[in-house]
Structure 1
Amino acid sequence: MRSSLLSIGLSQFGLSVLQTLFMFYYVKVYINQFHVNTKWFNIAQTLFMVWNAINDPLFGYLQEIRGSWLTNRLLVIKTLSPFLVGSFVFMWIPWNTEGSDLEGLHLVLSLFLYDAFFSAISVAWGALFADTTQNQSLIRVKALKYSQIAILLSVFSIAVTEKLSNSLKNFPIFQGICFFVAILSFICLWWGGHFGKITNNRQEDKEQGDREVLIEKEQEKEKEHQLTFHENVQNSIHLTKQILSQRQFLAIVITNFFHTARSIAHMNFASIITEILIPQDILPSGSIRLSLFFMLLTLGPQIILIVNEKLIANAGAIRVISVSYIVSFLSGFMIVASGNPYSIMLFMLIDCVTVHTIAPLFNIIISDFVDDDARKNSRSSGIPSIVFSLNALFVKPAQSVAPVIIVHLLNQSGYQDYLKSKVLSEDLKNTILLILFMTPVIIGGIQYAVMKSMFSFRKQNIRTTHVI
């Protein structure tokens, strides 16, 4: 089992190290470095949102069709990894930096390619997480810990990139770092899929005889009851209706949508907010202090989650999530102290903790839902690929909605003029302060209301589901 957890950890690191750099830099790079105009940025985000809504369910259903190689989670991760890292490198090579339509097309194509391969592997990883830990609460929490250690290691990439590239001022260095990270990610994803397959075979040696008999019988049944394409579509629609009819699933995806929007806002605009609101004598661009601050924002939440494993087990993931929404709501009122840069930095840390510490817990409650759904509908096994992909169907559009809204608000307040003159207007500063502090008040309040009203659970399961 430890080998399976190691496979989960390696694959998570390979995905996370790419996604961390992507989410932190792509908006800033395409606006400030590649000079994509607002029209093309909005077009790209709108098309990206539609593509996000299509590809995750598509890969989810494909990975649940019997007889397809896509049902092998490890093989999907291993096979698609070179395409994922290739699309990541492709993203940072500009076609034109003069604000032409060509660079707008580059942004659209980059988002489409990267998200397609990232989604396919992410769905496989989510299903691997649920399958490996099925009905095993001890292993589920342990798997989350391995996952968070991988994420913890991956976020060092931001501090290193900020320092070596001097906050993107030395862009060729940034491109070199991205190329190195792509190679590292490929190695981890390939070995995650390869190593997991080898170790699983070793663990199953003692039961190989019985398994071969069961497999042969199962294959005979599948040949007798092979579903046609129409029957597969009908079955997929039936499963989707069953899942969407459950209030707990709706509560999960609604709160996760807003959580993802907040997370994206953090990753995309942290450097912009820091540059404008924090004086250069406190956090100079390209300085060790700035790198350490970003490292604290990214590493702090992961460390808190790892060291509080027992607290999560005892209190229950859903209760921890609900408390975080209360803290988020209250933290927004720190706007009264926003005249002090150190108060803003403290708020950013608190906000990062309430967002990024909680985000991984959705893997636990979604995996728990997979188990509950299987029991409720008398399934022989869960359907994690479909559940995780349906979650992504509703959640991933937040990745496009959040940047479009924030970029629109910034441009309305004169952000483009600031980029040219570097003269900060009072209107732009006030807009950024409102975005920063009012987001947790509004979204945190909505999330808490939805979770309390729609997510019903038995008290005894809060503790027993996540016991270490």
Structure 2
Amino acid sequence: MDEYIHKNAVAYSTLLFSFGLMTSIFNFYYVKLFLSVYGISQYWFNIAQLIYLLWNAINDPLFAYWQDNCKIEIFRTREDGHFVWRTIFVVSFLLAWFPWGDYNETKWLAGVHLFVSMACYDALYTFILLAHCALYAEISPKHEDRLRLTKYSQVAGMLGSSSVILAEFLCDGLENMRAFQIYVLILGVLGWAGMYYTATNVRTAHDLKSASIPQYLPKSDASSDPTATSIFTQFMQVIRRKNFILFVTINFLQIFHNYYLHNFLSIFADELIPSRAMPKLVKKLLYGGSNLLVPVLVLCLSPLVAKRGYYKVLLWSFYFKVGTAALMFIFGYEWHWLLVLFFLCDRSLHKAIFNFFNLAVSDIIDEDQREYRRSHPLSSSVFGYNALFTKPAQSLAPMMIVAILEANNYQDRLAEDMSVAQHEALKAAIFSVACAIPFVVGVLQVIVWRPYSIRDSHRDDNKMY
């Protein structure tokens, strides 16, 4: 059993290495690329984000239901899904980094480029990630084994997330676009290789026929399987449960906070921390080092999660988020080194805590299976229904922040046509947003998370599907 979990944990985490290489780069640079390099207008940025918001919300539950209920083996089997779609996913990752024309003459083309890049990348990312998330719940029902998957994933994630800090040092971020384009091509090849390894090596208790692998699922006649119910009935069964509603709410807030940090940390730090205040090296370490710190925090927090459970650890992190944001606002943005520490804590701890959210989803999947006596867990479907309600946060965060930046003349700042007073007003607005988002998000998460009732799964290692 231990060898089975180890081998699957390595294969499982290898995909996260591939995702880390590409997703860290995509999320960290794509907004800055289109705003600062391509010069997209706020109008076309918002149009692209609104269309993407609708597409992003719809494709997750559709793909999820497809993976859980489709009879075609290539779509139903988690591993084959990785194998087939990895090449298309790598191509979708590369779409954003190569301009399609002169955006000064054709403003709408930048909007089309942004939407197509986000939509294609998200569609393929969603399809593969849903299968990957489902594997998390299906490799083993035990809290201890799932925690091991989380630990292995962080080692792989730490290696993958180093792509940002390497981009800062090798390409100077987006300053050297030709070098950056070569760099992302290399990342695409490495990502493809990692997904190939996962596709050919990961196994679940449900897919294997070998007697050497534990079979957690009782055999059942397909005709009596409740999973065969209609998509609407299945959807309503899942989303009406209290724990699902509470989790989806805090997850929406967490993703909103996450994408604000992904997309705007470099923009905010560049404005609030002048180059004369500290060496440029510090900013590069902030941008890339915050990613590298996340796996370390996860590994350090894992024993606490094993002992106290993810419910309490998440709740404590929400309180911490509120406290640090309030303290930073009191000190002000003139304390540059303190601001660097605040950004580092806000991003790294936030992302580290986010890695334990899969434990909650897996418990909700287990609860749903027991409640409706399903022979197979609705792993992809539950992850997909969760995404239906939380994915809009990925678009709402950048739309809101860009609107605030534009209201404070950020485009004039890019054109270096801004007075000292206007620049101070822009910095004050950016600082207020940087403190307000973690404070408000943290308060709401504390209020919502407290009634959540699945709190003792870390004490029960005898759960069976």
Within the candidate set 176, 182, 190, 1:176 is matched to 182
Paired with 1:55 and 1:358, the residues of 2 have a C-alpha distance of 26
CA gap 1:466/1:23 in 2 versus in 1, 3 angstroms:
farther
Paired with 1:414 and 1:37, the residues of 2 have a C-alpha distance of 12
Match of 1:456 in 2: 453
Which residue identity is paired with 1:9? S
Within the candidate set 163, 170, 190, 2:196 is matched to 190
Is residue 25 of structure 1 aligned with residue 25 of structure 2?
Answer: no
Q: Tell me by how many angstroms 1:353 deviates.
A: 3.4
Match of 2:84 in 1: 79
Which residue identity is paired with 1:336? I
Match of 1:92 in 2: 97
SS of corresponding position for 1:379: coil
Q: Tell me by how many angstroms 1:225 deviates.
A: 8.0
Paired with 1:445 and 1:201, the residues of 2 have a C-alpha distance of 40
| Structure 1 gap segments, 5+ residues each | none
CA gap 1:390/1:200 in 2 versus in 1, 3 angstroms:
closer
Within the candidate set 301, 309, 315, 1:322 is matched to 315
Match of 2:331 in 1: 337
Paired with 2:461 and 2:264, the residues of 1 have a C-alpha distance of 36
Match of 1:147 in 2: 153
* Matches for 1:297-446 after TM superposition, within 5 Å: 297-333=290-326, 334-338=328-332, 339-421=334-416, 423=418, 425-446=423-444
Q: Say if 2:88 and 2:124, in contact at 8 Å, map to a contact too.
A: yes
Match of 2:13 in 1: 9
Paired with 2:207 and 2:68, the residues of 1 have a C-alpha distance of 25
TM-score, length basis structure 1:
0.90
CA gap 1:64/1:326 in 2 versus in 1, 3 angstroms:
same
Is residue 106 of structure 1 aligned with residue 110 of structure 2?
Answer: no
Paired with 1:466 and 1:280, the residues of 2 have a C-alpha distance of 56
Paired with 2:344 and 2:352, the residues of 1 have a C-alpha distance of 11
Aligned length: 450
RMSD between aligned residues: 2.6
Q: Tell me by how many angstroms 1:289 deviates.
A: 2.9
Q: Tell me by how many angstroms 1:11 deviates.
A: 1.1
| Structure 2 gap segments, 5+ residues each | none
SS of corresponding position for 2:202: helix
Identity of aligned residues (%): 29
SS of corresponding position for 2:39: coil
Q: Say if 2:103 and 2:109, in contact at 8 Å, map to a contact too.
A: no
**After superposition, what is the alpha-carbon deviation per residue over 1:422-460, rounded to whole angstroms, capped at 9, x for unaligned?**
75611100110001011111110001101113x1235x4
Match of 2:58 in 1: 54
TM-score, length basis structure 2:
0.91
SS of corresponding position for 1:63: helix
CA gap 1:85/1:466 in 2 versus in 1, 3 angstroms:
farther
Paired with 2:225 and 2:359, the residues of 1 have a C-alpha distance of 33
Q: Say if 1:34 and 1:96, in contact at 8 Å, map to a contact too.
A: no
Q: Tell me by how many angstroms 1:296 deviates.
A: 2.6
CA gap 1:90/1:429 in 2 versus in 1, 3 angstroms:
same
SS of corresponding position for 1:248: helix
Paired with 1:157 and 1:263, the residues of 2 have a C-alpha distance of 18
Paired with 1:391 and 1:466, the residues of 2 have a C-alpha distance of 26
Q: Say if 2:81 and 2:128, in contact at 8 Å, map to a contact too.
A: yes
Q: Say if 1:155 and 1:298, in contact at 8 Å, map to a contact too.
A: yes
CA gap 1:461/1:113 in 2 versus in 1, 3 angstroms:
closer
Which residue identity is paired with 1:324? S
Q: Say if 1:35 and 1:97, in contact at 8 Å, map to a contact too.
A: no
CA gap 1:369/1:329 in 2 versus in 1, 3 angstroms:
same
Is residue 293 of structure 1 aligned with residue 291 of structure 2?
Answer: no
SS of corresponding position for 1:308: helix
Q: Say if 2:225 and 2:374, in contact at 8 Å, map to a contact too.
A: no
Q: Say if 1:327 and 1:354, in contact at 8 Å, map to a contact too.
A: no
SS of corresponding position for 1:381: coil
Most deviating of 400-409 and 423-432: 423-432
CA gap 1:141/1:245 in 2 versus in 1, 3 angstroms:
same
Q: Say if 1:61 and 1:385, in contact at 8 Å, map to a contact too.
A: yes
Is residue 158 of structure 1 aligned with residue 164 of structure 2?
Answer: yes
Q: Say if 1:316 and 1:466, in contact at 8 Å, map to a contact too.
A: no
Q: Say if 1:4 and 1:200, in contact at 8 Å, map to a contact too.
A: no
Q: Tell me by how many angstroms 1:201 deviates.
A: 12
Is residue 120 of structure 1 aligned with residue 127 of structure 2?
Answer: yes
SS of corresponding position for 1:403: helix
